[in-house]
Amino acid sequence: MELLTVNFLFNLSILIVLLFFFLMWAEKSDEKNNYRETAKLYFIVSLVLCYVFSYRLTEDIVLDLRIVPFVIGGLYLGISPILGLLIIVIRGFLGIDNGFFIAALFYGVASWFIWYISPWFLKRSSKFRIMFSIGVTFLVSLLILVGLEILSPPEHSLDFWFAYLFVPPLGVAMISYLIEGIRRNVLLRQRLVKAEKLEAVEQMGAAISHEIRNPLTSAMGFVQLLEDDLLDLDKRKQYLNILKEELQSAEKVIQDYLTFSKPTIESVEVFQVEEELNQILKLLQPSANWYSVRVESDYSSLNYIQGDRQKFHQCFVNVIKNAIESMPNGGILSVSSRADSTHVTIKIQDTGVGMTKDQIERLGEPYYSTKGDKGTGLGVMVVNSIVKAMKGTIRVKSKVGEGTVFTFTFHVYKKSNQNSSGQVKHQDLRM
Ligand code: ADP
Ligand code: MG
């Protein structure tokens, strides 16, 4: 006759293998409540598997490892009523006999008891929980053994005692140890995410207050100068102009910050990429002239995309400004667009100072700038968040001393769902 211990050990190894599959599954998808839901499913599937690999002692008595998922699932997830009911129902399929009624009574009471103590159990320390689960399993096993000895004393008594007193507690020990490890990991990860967020906010706060304080301090100085009653009109006008500029630059920092912290697209409209790019180039032409940068543009066709036009504008102002600023001794800025049936690709290329690998990696970090006092280190971060919100992509290629290419792709807005006002007109937009 086959040994019960061997059967139980085989059963246990299946439960452990299954646990690893479920763990991998839970790791893969990144929803929040995933571990809990996956764990519930694991215990239900394990219970069914316990029955599949059960050991039939007599007509009435079926032995298996069901107490392992029952005890752990009940204690850790508080689902013992579901598991208990499942045990009773499956046992019913094997026959409504004496064994069934005993199982129903036993698991009915045990379900209630485990469900009742589960909240208390979860408040204990990790070590205590493991020891407690093992203890409960040991006790339940003992009860089953005593019941067995009374109902139908088995032939190989030693094998039975060993199988029940050793295998289920071992299984519970292994599984609860793993669960504790997973719980610790999940908690740690949550804490890490929170800390990272806090750090980002702190960094932003520092960057913002630093950036806003500069223009405000200088604005304050000019207000003081303006207080002088003897100031002539020309000077007064000049100071007011500077004042306005300083306040505008403070406003821009706030605008950038808002775009970063609220990257959702607010107004969705269909607009033409090339037209928008030309507008930006016109806007930045004085700055390009100042740096002796020649601007070239080359558009293969006219393309429409859907999104927030203003944010798109802000995004490319930042990128093109960076490109111009990377060529302090002059150079060529080329802006181009290409499209296929699904995507439009926009390239912003400069022949500027370029970036090292490390610099490219740090791009987009808040406050990261190589421009000293002149830089805010917010531009690329804003660009990233806008492109992400528009479901686009960014690629950066750069070589020190040769220049940089920023490549963007966005989904093309299909003509078929374009309304009459957004119709494509073919005109040459070459500049
Ligand atoms: P800022 O322009 O205020 O420095 P950004 O976030 O716009 O801040 O840019 C961060 C940094 O990335 C810049 O300081 C610069 O070092 C680098 N960078 C961005 N674009 C380019 C480019 N086209 N060529 C070279 N370096 C660039
Ligand atoms: Mg910039």
Q: How high is the mean pLDDT of the chain?
A: 85
Assigned domain for 88 exists = yes
Q: Whose CA is nearest to atom 18 of ligand 1?
A: 322
- C-beta of 366 in contact with ligand 1 (< 6 A): no
pLDDT of residue 69: 92
Mean pLDDT of 227-250: 88
Closest residue by Cα to residue 415 from 289, 257, 306, 324: 306
- C-beta of 323 in contact with ligand 1 (< 6 A): yes
- Point out the ligand nearest to the CA of residue 364: 1
pLDDT of residue 421: 43
Note whether 97 and 190 are same-domain residues.
Answer: yes
Assigned domain for 400 exists = yes
What's the structural domain count of the chain?
A: 3
Note whether 63 and 134 are same-domain residues.
Answer: yes
* Strongest mean pLDDT among 205-214, 254-263, 404-413: 404-413
C-alpha of 364 from chain center? 18
Tell me which of 208, 319, 380, 408 to substitute to probe ligand 1's pocket, judged by most ligand atoms within 8 Å of the beta carbon: 380
Note whether 240 and 326 are same-domain residues.
Answer: no
Which amino acid appears at position 84 of this protein?
G
Note whether 318 and 181 are same-domain residues.
Answer: no
Ligand 1: which atom is nearest the Cα of residue 368?
A: 10
Mean pLDDT of 258-267: 64
Task: Find the 260 Cα to ligand 2 centroid distance in Å.
Answer: 14
Assigned domain for 241 exists = yes
Tell me which of 369, 395, 406 to substitute to probe ligand 1's pocket, judged by most ligand atoms within 8 Å of the beta carbon: 369
Q: Is the pLDDT of residue 418 over 50?
A: no
Assigned domain for 36 exists = yes
Note whether 71 and 178 are same-domain residues.
Answer: yes
Q: Is the pLDDT of residue 270 over 60?
A: yes
Backbone angles phi, psi at 375, to 5 degrees: -95, 155
Helices (H), 227-297: 233-261, 273-290
pLDDT of residue 149: 84
Mean pLDDT of 250-269: 71
Q: Kindly state the greatest CA–CA separation across the chain.
A: 115
Encode pLDDT of 109-152 as tens digits: 999 999 999 999 999 999 999 999 999 999 989 988 888 888 77
Ligand 1: which atom is nearest the Cα of residue 374?
A: 3
Mean pLDDT of 414-420: 55
What's the CATH code of the domain at 286? Answer: 3.30.565.10
Assigned domain for 199 exists = no
Task: Find the 347 Cα to ligand 2 centroid distance in Å.
Answer: 17
Note whether 351 and 307 are same-domain residues.
Answer: yes
pLDDT of residue 416: 57
Task: Find the 384 Cα to ligand 2 centroid distance in Å.
Answer: 12
Note whether 304 and 415 are same-domain residues.
Answer: yes
What's the CATH code of the domain at 242? Answer: 1.10.287.130
Encode pLDDT of 42-59 as tens digits: 999 999 998 888 887 777
pTM tops 0.75, yes or no? no
Note whether 189 and 80 are same-domain residues.
Answer: yes
Let me know: does 269 contact 305? Beta carbons within 8 Å: no
Q: Is the pLDDT of residue 267 over 90?
A: no
Q: Is the pLDDT of residue 382 over 70?
A: yes
Assigned domain for 93 exists = yes
Closest residue by Cα to residue 178 from 26, 401, 339, 7: 26
Mean pLDDT of 194-208: 74
Environment class of 275 (CB within 10 Å of its CB; exposed 0-12, middle 13-18, buried 19+): middle
Q: Helix/strand/coil (H, E, C) string of 46-75?
A: HHHHHHHCCEECCCCCEECCCHHHHHHHHH
- C-beta of 272 in contact with ligand 1 (< 6 A): no
Mean pLDDT of 253-262: 69
Assigned domain for 69 exists = yes
Note whether 107 and 173 are same-domain residues.
Answer: yes
- Pick the range with the lowest mean pLDDT from 138-147, 263-272, 332-341: 263-272
Instruction: Give percent of the chain above pLDDT 70.
Output: 91
Distance CA 367, CA 373 (A): 11
Distance CA 243, CA 225 (A): 11
Ligand 1: which atom is nearest the Cα of residue 319?
A: 20
* Res. 74 pLDDT band, cuts 50 70 90: very high
Between residues 252 and 8, the one the model is more confident about? 8
422 CB-near residues (< 8 Å, 6+ apart): 270, 304, 413
* Res. 376 pLDDT band, cuts 50 70 90: confident
Task: Identify the domain containing residue 238 by its residue range.
Answer: 210-258
* Strongest mean pLDDT among 55-69, 197-211, 300-314: 300-314
Assigned domain for 22 exists = yes
Note whether 225 and 357 are same-domain residues.
Answer: no
